[in-house]
Amino acid sequence: MGDNDRHRDVDKLLKRLFHENERIKIFPLKELFEQRLDDLSITKHQACKILGVENKTLDAFLSGDSKKVDFISILKLSDFLEVSHTELMDKYFDLVLDTHNQSIESAKKRSFIVNNFDLPQLKKIGLIDSINDFDEIERSINVFFGYDSIFEHGEHKITAVFSSGKRKTNHKSLEFWFAAVRKSLDKTPNPHEYDRDGLIDFFPKIRWHCMDIENGLLSVAQKLFRLGITLIIVPKFTPDLHIRGATFSYGDKPCVALTKYTQFYPTLWFALIHELFHVLYDWDVIKREKYHFTKEAVPEEGEGSINIGGSVHVGDLMEINEQEADDFARQYLFPNEKMKEIAPHINEPKYVERFARLNHVDPSFIYVFYLWENESKKLYGKFNKYFPKKQYERLLNNFSVDEYLQFEPVKDISRKRNINLNYNTL
């Protein structure tokens, strides 16, 4: 660079340094005011007279402590300082943010919490003790999910549009469930590549595992893991969550998350087969969209009503046919022709048990499909004793389902479940 070029560059730099706009950006608001007093050779008292404001009002503004913003005074001050109204307001808001950063950050967290969490529901399920103690609410949520900051929950936003249905799922509850699933998957790395051909080969063998209530699903989960598919089970958490299951793309591999949606053992298997159908036939769509939820569309289930199918699509994945997945799961587990054959003998428990064993299902599958098809609440009490309960709970214990509702940290729950399922060694 020649001497002339060097001088021009230096002059340009100095000119920019002392340019009025640069001066406004560099100096604090209070110092800009004091410089203006020096430029005009007047006192602060005289400036207040010129502006028509009280000394304490001016001091509060220059220090960022004004309790209310007087826009007329701002217009006057901007003319006095010979800066634009916009620049002065930007300068003032920067000052307020700096002066009251802790208070503003606290309010920001509280707003985020009420906008993203259903506090009455979280209190009802026992995660929090109060809906007003925001410090404790923040601590409880951060500990449960393992967040360093409450704002990490924003990473689990669900952008899907809900399909219409008789059941309305609380969006905040869905995002809470989704966050628990995703944080659990963070602690469950699957080193195996997704093997679609292997899943097709394994599919005919899945059903007979349902006869081993306590351990059959564990064996299926372990085999799926080796095929690159991670299966986890998470509770509903809240009564207003009507999600039966979901299939995710996590690390470009399928992950299936099921909910303990009902007290009926067959429901879990129905949801699993439904989601595996999506893994087989809708994986390209799900991988592109990142997730797919299976939502119930029938009226609220109470004691005496049975809910197995009837899912609707949640999201924008219009290429996915939910009814097709439901029909597949229904026919895979216990075909219609088999149901017609056994229906006349439904009141003969030993006959039903033998028939179920011959068709490689637990007898509860026959009863649950019969109740579902007949939609009879009266029959529920009659057949309730044929549904496995203690064994079903022991199965869920292997997946650490209830521990989520004790609100141990998700990372600890996931570690314990992974040991139970041998996910860490497969």
Instruction: Choose the weakest-confidence range: 55-69, 273-287, 347-361.
Output: 55-69
Asked if 35 and 124 sit in the same domain, the reply is no
pTM, to two decimals: 0.77
At 287-312, the pLDDT tens digits run: 887 667 776 544 334 433 444 444 43
Determine the residue type at 190. Answer: N
Instruction: Choose the weakest-confidence range: 69-73, 193-197, 251-255.
Output: 69-73
In whole angstroms, give the CA distance from residue 266 to residue 217. Answer: 11
With respect to residue 230, please indicate whether it lies within any of the assigned structural domains: yes
Q: What is the pLDDT of residue 18?
A: 43
Q: How long, in residues, is the chain?
A: 426
Q: What is the pLDDT of residue 116?
A: 95
With respect to residue 187, please indicate whether it lies within any of the assigned structural domains: yes
Question: At 91, phi and psi to the nearest 5?
Answer: -65, -40
Asked if 147 and 190 sit in the same domain, the reply is no
Residue 162 is classified by DSSP as B
With respect to residue 425, please indicate whether it lies within any of the assigned structural domains: no
Kindly state the average pLDDT of the residues 402-418: 95
Structural domain span for residue 141: 115-154
Asked if 170 and 148 sit in the same domain, the reply is no
With respect to residue 107, please indicate whether it lies within any of the assigned structural domains: no
Q: Which helix (H) or strand (E) holds 245?
A: strand 243-250
With respect to residue 108, please indicate whether it lies within any of the assigned structural domains: no
Our count of domains for the chain comes to 3
With respect to residue 134, please indicate whether it lies within any of the assigned structural domains: yes
Cα angle vertex 363, ends 361, 366, to 5°?
A: 90
Asked if 148 and 164 sit in the same domain, the reply is no
Cα angle vertex 332, ends 327, 338, to 5°?
A: 95
At 223-262, the pLDDT tens digits run: 999 999 999 999 999 988 888 889 989 989 999 999 987 8
- Per-residue confidence band for 79, with pLDDT thresholds at 50, 70 and 90: confident
